[in-house]
Structure 1
Amino acid sequence: MAATLHVLRPTTPTIAGYLRVGHTGHRKLADLHAAGRLPYRRVVFDAAHLAEQLELAKTLKASGCEIVLDPNFAEMATLGRFGSSAIQKLAWANLDRPWEPSDFDRRRNHDAAKAIAEFAVNAGVHAILAPTHLVENVNDAWRTTDLRMCEALRYELDRCGGSDIAVDYQLITTSALLKDAAVRAAFVADIEAMPVENVWLRASGFGATATGAGTRHFIESVRALHGIGRPLIADMAGGFAALGAAAFGAVAGISHGVGQKESFKAADWRKPPTGGGGAAARAYVQELDRYFKEDQLQAIFEAKGGRSRFSCADTSCCTHGGEDMIENGHAHFVTQRHRQLDDLSGVPEDRRASHFLLRHLDPAIRTARHAAKLKIVDDKVLAAVGQAKVRMVRLRDALADLDAKGAGETRSRAPNFRGGTRAVSAVLGR
């Protein structure tokens, strides 16, 4: 009997999708999970809101999801966030004023790290983001403090029974600073020796509404951080900009919420919160890579050809089309974003950039051009559609030129999955 030759092909690394729960919407996510409609396998919880979301975290962990904790330490050093009632309930908060680098010596480092470690162990998470801060210049005093805090957190986790909890480094900075080669080299030197598994990159100025030029600069800048030798995750980054960064190999994963935490603006942290009510319900239109309020979406639907082109035609996502897009906006978004990640993950890494351009951006631009020609009565909605078209065209032009110049010499390593066994809601997850 002739021997059978089996050709083993290397597994294509998937793009990791991390879903940030944020301060609202956790009940909707719980309902989606109960219905088997939450495909994400990696979920991030804020420590500031975990008390009211702990049941969801436990349920997701029991179903096999990876649970990551954000200690919200960076917010405690900012005027616009330190006074939040949710933030101030945490044991490592300062009730009087924002933390300053001068507040921390080695003893204070371990006091805060101990409190965070004990919180993480009690919460039963798989990983925790290191307690770091916004770094806006290479000489920022937070740089050295953050490195010591990261090491202190690892020590305290090991000491209090959390040796199985991974630490991921949070590099919080600005897109402008990342353009500086000397600064990037300093970041690599800082982080490469840290006891961390992944590096989460939160860059002010990059996110769901990033320009084509901004996205290209981000990709080119972040490639230099591959020297850290750890998987890179674009944090608080959504939309085609984040998907493009992953497709081009600058990062190996993206993290964002549903209608929130899809971009980061450092300026928001400098201003006292203004308060106000909750945001109106919005629906994500993936062909335009943006959200619309219910009345705005209705204005598009009422234009001739608008409903047939822009209401969700995927009955496995939205059984009743446009109505479900609005009524079940969370379900629609997580389904469509996960499918974008799933599609890109199924393509070999060396072809992902061109696939993203041809199969994601180009069809979206064609649809956006059609939308810009609709006779939409609401001038503001028509203008928003036109702006979406222009942004995507410029994104396509910038990334097509980058692709034409050839792939980068390196790609980010893929992060390991740190959850448990697969379960019903997580079986198709990333």
Structure 2
Amino acid sequence: MTANNIHLLHARPSPLAPFLRVGHTGQHRLEAMVAANRMPYQRFVFDAAHIRRQQSLLQALKARGSEIVIDLNFAETAAPGRFATAVAKLPWGNAERPWTPDDFGRERNADFFKQMAEFAVANGGTTVLAPTHLVESDVAPWHTVDLDGCVRLRRELDRAGGKSIAIDYQIITTTAALKDPQLRSVLLDGVADLPFQNLWLRASGFGAKATGAGTRHLLETARHLHAVGRPIVIDMAGGFAGLSTLAFGTAGGICHGIALSESFNAADWRKLPQEGKGGGLGARIYVADLDRHLSEKQAEAFFAVRGTKSRFACNDTSCCPSGLDDMAESPQSHFITQRFRQIAELDRLPEARRAEHFLLRMLDPAVRSARQAAKLKFGDEQVQKLVGESKTRLIRFRDALGGLHEAEAVGTDVSRSRAPAFRGRQEDTCELVSIMGGRR
């Protein structure tokens, strides 16, 4: 055999798993993207509290072989700020008061798990998130209930004809609890022995607006979850913070919504909702190089300044052929396409190169753009402040993660999460980059 016949084969990089939360509104726009063959995502999370009026979208996604994850919204039924919302109408909800651990003894409310299993089967879920709760400084009371609930749900799924439906266990906590070795140990105690596939983490204090220091802490502390031996999915993880969990190998998948559900704040769950509060945020336009969503009013003031359109408007003709006009008219489609392409850009690289690429090819250009934007005069005090804050955050974000990358480069081997297996219809799947028209 001569040197000319030798071909070096490289292992396929561990594929990344992006999940999209459908949320409680906007399903018609998502359905339109599916119909137009413009929906790149193949994994979707539906809230049980809203799934009944989202059946048309759900069935369209099922028909294309997508993975359907059902969030039972069980955690919300025990939260003072959430129990009386749409979750109260679920069979396992309670409009009178939030549930407490004492409500879930061995014989109390045992039918809930049967109802959850039947709900997942009836709605065609491929996966269901285990019925767990927000746990903070006092982990023990809910932890025992949650471990038992996962076992009960598996048993009831098997009885209800849902043996093929997987369970993913979710830990809902705070970044402070996650950093505490003792609390973290309790959180993970017994979890590895449960009947589930992937481990989801939703951490209050982390998400699209997380600081560089906060993100570094999350990347380091969440790696302790690798000891459970399951692939990790970080939930409600938007922006560069969410992407960093994939780049640094802390997670094999992330889940986010569209402008909403890109972060989690437990404080909103603790306080009773106020009358007259709530409602939608209106259209939010994603500006990748600022790592921010702008309201329509903010975007109007931002892009009115000379030079901003050429630098910050979408120049991806396969996403927004008309640039800023398409960004403004179809902000959901623009965001979904661009976020997916950011993930696909990391996905095509070997695991060991993802962090460096993220720093040099994604964060550094954003820092340069934000610095340029901060020099402009917008004539709008709010927008001027927003741009300045974005610049400062991105610089500090880059510094913190650059420091982490340097520390890991000279340290011991760093563990990386395995990739969650795809649980839709396999023959209808394709790789991240090929979905978006790229090549490996």
Query: What TM bracket, shorter-length normalisation?
Result: over 0.9
More divergent stretch after superposition (419-428 vs 371-380): 419-428
Alignment partners' CA distance in 2, 1:243 and 1:276: 28
Q: How big is the shift at 1:193?
A: 0.7
8 Å CA contact retained: 1:289, 1:388: yes
Partner residue of 2:70? 69
Alignment partners' CA distance in 1, 2:233 and 2:91: 27
Q: How does 1:194-209 map to 2 (within 5 A)?
A: 194-209=194-209
8 Å CA contact retained: 2:139, 2:186: no
Quick one: structure 1 residues 257 and 60, their matched pair in 2 at CA, closer, same or farther if it must change by over 3 Å? same
SS in 1 for 2:57: helix
8 Å CA contact retained: 2:139, 2:183: no
Q: How does 1:304-319 map to 2 (within 5 A)?
A: 304-319=306-321
Q: How big is the shift at 1:272?
A: 2.3
8 Å CA contact retained: 2:74, 2:132: yes
Q: C-alpha offsets along residues 20-70 of structure 1, whole Å, 9 cap, x if unaligned?
A: 001011111001111111100100000000000012111101101110000
Task: Give the 4+ runs in structure 1 shifted more than 3 A.
Answer: 1-8, 274-277, 423-427
Q: How big is the shift at 1:140?
A: 3.5
Alignment partners' CA distance in 2, 1:190 and 1:378: 54
Alignment partners' CA distance in 2, 1:120 and 1:301: 45
Q: C-alpha offsets along residues 336-373 of structure 1, whole Å, 9 cap, x if unaligned?
A: 00000000011110111111000110000000001101
% identical equivalent positions = 53
Partner residue of 1:112? 112
Alignment partners' CA distance in 1, 2:245 and 2:401: 10
Alignment partners' CA distance in 1, 2:154 and 2:73: 17
Q: C-alpha offsets along residues 189-230 of structure 1, whole Å, 9 cap, x if unaligned?
A: 321111110011000000000001100000110111100000
Q: How does 1:4-19 map to 2 (within 5 A)?
A: 7-19=8-20
8 Å CA contact retained: 1:288, 1:385: yes
Quick one: structure 1 residues 389 and 92, their matched pair in 2 at CA, closer, same or farther if it must change by over 3 Å? same
Partner residue of 2:420? 415
Quick one: structure 1 residues 301 and 270, their matched pair in 2 at CA, closer, same or farther if it must change by over 3 Å? same
8 Å CA contact retained: 2:103, 2:109: no
Uncovered stretches (5+) of structure 2, i.e. residues with no partner: none
More divergent stretch after superposition (399-408 vs 149-158): 399-408
Alignment partners' CA distance in 2, 1:425 and 1:26: 24
Q: How big is the shift at 1:105?
A: 1.1
Partner residue of 2:376? 374
Report the RMSD for the aligned CA atoms in angstroms. Answer: 1.9
Partner residue of 2:90? 90
Alignment partners' CA distance in 2, 1:139 and 1:308: 51
Uncovered stretches (5+) of structure 1, i.e. residues with no partner: none
Q: How big is the shift at 1:400?
A: 0.4
If asked which structure has higher relative contact order (CA below 8 Å, sep 6+), I would say 1
Partner residue of 1:396? 398
Alignment partners' CA distance in 2, 1:106 and 1:168: 22
Alignment partners' CA distance in 1, 2:317 and 2:431: 18
Alignment partners' CA distance in 2, 1:406 and 1:272: 43
**Is the aligned partner of 1:249 residue 2:249?**
yes
SS in 2 for 1:405: helix
8 Å CA contact retained: 1:368, 1:385: yes
The AA in structure 2 aligned to 1:15 is: L
Partner residue of 2:258? 258
Partner residue of 1:235? 235
The AA in structure 1 aligned to 2:417 is: S
**Is the aligned partner of 1:40 residue 2:41?**
yes
With normalisation by structure 2, the TM-score equals 0.94
Q: How big is the shift at 1:278?
A: 2.5
Alignment partners' CA distance in 1, 2:408 and 2:271: 42
Q: C-alpha offsets along residues 91-135 of structure 1, whole Å, 9 cap, x if unaligned?
A: 111232100000011223531111100000001110000000001
Partner residue of 1:428? 435
8 Å CA contact retained: 1:189, 1:228: no
SS in 2 for 1:83: coil
Number of matched pairs = 429
Alignment partners' CA distance in 2, 1:103 and 1:138: 17
Alignment partners' CA distance in 2, 1:322 and 1:425: 29
Partner residue of 1:294? 296
Partner residue of 2:212? 212
Q: How does 1:129-144 map to 2 (within 5 A)?
A: 129-144=129-144
Alignment partners' CA distance in 2, 1:276 and 1:124: 31
Q: How big is the shift at 1:384?
A: 0.1
Q: How does 1:270-285 map to 2 (within 5 A)?
A: 270-274=270-274, 275-285=277-287
Q: C-alpha offsets along residues 375-401 of structure 1, whole Å, 9 cap, x if unaligned?
A: 211111011011011111111100001
8 Å CA contact retained: 2:169, 2:200: yes
Q: C-alpha offsets along residues 209-253 of structure 1, whole Å, 9 cap, x if unaligned?
A: 000110000011011110000011110110001111111011111
Q: How big is the shift at 1:282?
A: 1.3
With normalisation by structure 1, the TM-score equals 0.96
